[in-house]
Amino acid sequence: MLDFTDKDFLIDPYPALAEARAIGKPFWHEPTEMFLAARHADANAVLRNKSLGRIFTPKTPETDWNDFNYLHSDSILDSEPPKHTRLKSLVSKAFNPRTINALTPEIERLTTMLLNDCADKREQNGTFDVLADFAEPLPVKVIAHMLGFPDADEHLLRPWSQSIVKMYEVNPSEAHKAEARTAATEFADYVHGLMKLRQSHPGMDLISTLAAAEKDGERLSVEELIATCVLLLNAGHEASVNGFGNGIVAALRRPSVMQPLRGDPRTVSRNALEEFLRFDSPLQLFERTATADTDINGVAIRQGQKIAALLGAANRDPDVFANADSMDLTRETNQHIAFGAGIHFCIGAPLARLEMNISLPALVERFPALELAGEPTRRPTFVLRGYDAIPVS
Ligand code: HEM
């Protein structure tokens, strides 16, 4: 029933996702050969079930896919305990609330700088692209700053990341596969070079810290270190860009919904950003593989079978959210699972929240009459849901 490649589905997947949720329990989806969990309780249970792991299947032949493979098999996201625990605890230190809050002045500085550029563009052309000119560069610059990725090479990050994430969609084409392989090799080589530089000339950045990190007497292997840096650089901006883009489009299309944010941007933004992530979640599907026979809501999942949590479907579940299909930027209680749940819960959630809590009110204060200046173009992808361009004036 769900066709993840259908054009209409990609424009608005929520009616079909509501039908999937109405089935009431996980169901087998033949095209992807996995179970899908669409209800909030079921998706949440998938993410928290200890017999359901993120098990990366290496791409073959190994020689061609070597770099792509270890960027995944050696990353936090695609490993399970005990390796996951070791990797995550090393990185967690850099993402504790104190360290993240200390980034506030830098995020404010970058926000102001980007808004100045947006104002210049609007002055010249009457419009700017709130995605390409604002929502995208901000998290890219912040994560690059944290890791100590050189400013001059920052433009390389987004294309590498974009090429790699195309592999996360349901049916990547041969051209996308080739692009992802090349990007993985270039990205890994670049980070390896940077890491060697930081080992001999350490700075205050996260790459230097990771390169020097020791946990229980065990250093990160070169592959683990490279994989961790690449993951942080990619995960550190992809969802933030799309979360902001999806949310701002939905809000601007509904003037009465946008009203409270325009009226009191600094107070409303904290709830508004959570509603952005709930209402049109930037990450829609995460897979797990059963490492032992288990069940979700009475549906047996045999060892080796796959099941995916549909986060966007879960975040519209009327059993959990009042008026689930309505956007409400003042929504107080918001148990969305856009950041996941269980052991893989997003490590960057405090950073993503801080960024949006600074950038969203700043945007609305700077452009009080902000509105769409044309139809935003949707990207033809489901797993990473977002726009290509969002013209505003
Ligand atoms: C709005 C922005 C973001 C959203 C919606 C988001 C969402 C998620 C989700 C759903 C997962 C869990 C995946 C799974 O269970 O399979 C995850 C994991 C992760 N995220 Fe985020 N993320 C965001 C921003 C960030 C940022 C800014 C970083 C910064 C470094 C980051 C780093 C990570 C990492 C490292 C993991 C893996 C954690 C683990 O496997 O234990 N994310 N994210």
Do residues 388 and 377 touch, judged by C-beta distance below 8 A?
Answer: yes
Mean pLDDT of the chain: 94
Pairing of strands 128-129, 391-392: antiparallel
Angle between helical axes of 222-235 and 62-73 (0-180°, round to 10): 70
The partner residues of 53 in beta bridges, in order of sequence, read 289
380 pLDDT band (50/70/90 cuts)? very high
In this prediction, residue 216 carries a pLDDT of 57
Element (H, E) at 231: helix 222-235
The predicted-structure confidence for 65-113, as pLDDT tens digits, reads as follows: 988 998 888 889 999 999 899 888 888 888 888 889 999 999 999 999 9
The residue length of the chain stands at 393
Structural domains present in the chain: 7-50+59-392 (1.10.630.10)
Distance CA 372, CA 250 (A): 10
**CA-closest residue to ligand 1 atom 25:** 348
User: Has residue 255 got a pLDDT over 70?
Assistant: yes
Cα–Cα distances in angstroms (integers) from residue 325 to residues 21, 142, 310, in the given order: 13, 32, 16
Angle between helical axes of 265-279 and 238-252 (0-180°, round to 10): 110
Element (H, E) at 275: helix 265-279
In this prediction, residue 220 carries a pLDDT of 76
**CA-closest residue to ligand 1 atom 9:** 339
| pLDDT-above-90 percentage for the chain | 75
The predicted-structure confidence for 2-42, as pLDDT tens digits, reads as follows: 999 999 999 999 999 999 999 999 999 999 999 999 999 99
Q: Which residues are marked as active site?
A: 235, 238, 240, 346, 355
pTM: 0.95
Distance CA 170, CA 9 (A): 14
Cα(229) to centroid(ligand 1), Å: 14
Which of the residue ranges 189-193, 320-324, 367-371 would you say has the lowest mean pLDDT? 189-193
User: Has residue 218 got a pLDDT over 70?
Assistant: no
303 pLDDT band (50/70/90 cuts)? very high
Residue pointed to by tokens 């009110």:
361
Cα(212) to centroid(ligand 1), Å: 24
What Rg value do the Cα atoms of the chain yield, rounded?
Answer: 21
| pLDDT-above-70 percentage for the chain | 98
Q: Residues lining ligand 1, judged by CB closer than 6 Å? A: 47, 54, 76-77, 88, 143, 231-232, 235-236, 239-240, 243, 277, 282-283, 286, 338-340, 344, 346-348, 351-352
Instruction: Name the residue of 147, 346, 358, 385 whose CB sits within 8 Å of the most ligand 1 atoms, as the mutation to test its pocket.
Output: 346
